[in-house]
Amino acid sequence: MTVIETYNKYRFGSSQGLGPKTMAQLIRHFENPPKPESGVLTGRTGTHLIELQYLGPAVIKHYLRGGILSNLNKRTHLAIKNSRAQMEFELLSHIQNIGVNVPEPIAFASRGSLFYQTWLITRNIPDVQNLSTMTTSEPEKAEKAIVNLATQVNTLISHHILHVDLHPGNVLVDPEERVYIIDFDKAKTGHTKKHAICRYYLKRWERAVEKYRLPEFVNEIMRNSLEY
Active site residues: 165
Question: By the 8 A CB rule, do 126 and 164 touch?
Answer: no
What is the C-alpha separation between 216 and 221, in angstroms, rounded?
Answer: 9
Task: Say which residues have a Cβ less than 8 Å from residue 71's Cβ, sequence separation at least 6.
Answer: none
Cα separation values, 147 from 59, 68, 119, 217, 221, Å: 27, 38, 32, 11, 7
Cα separation values, 122 from 50, 53, 62, 190, Å: 10, 14, 12, 25
Q: Quick one: CA torsion of 80, 85, 91, 92, rounded to 10 degrees? A: 170
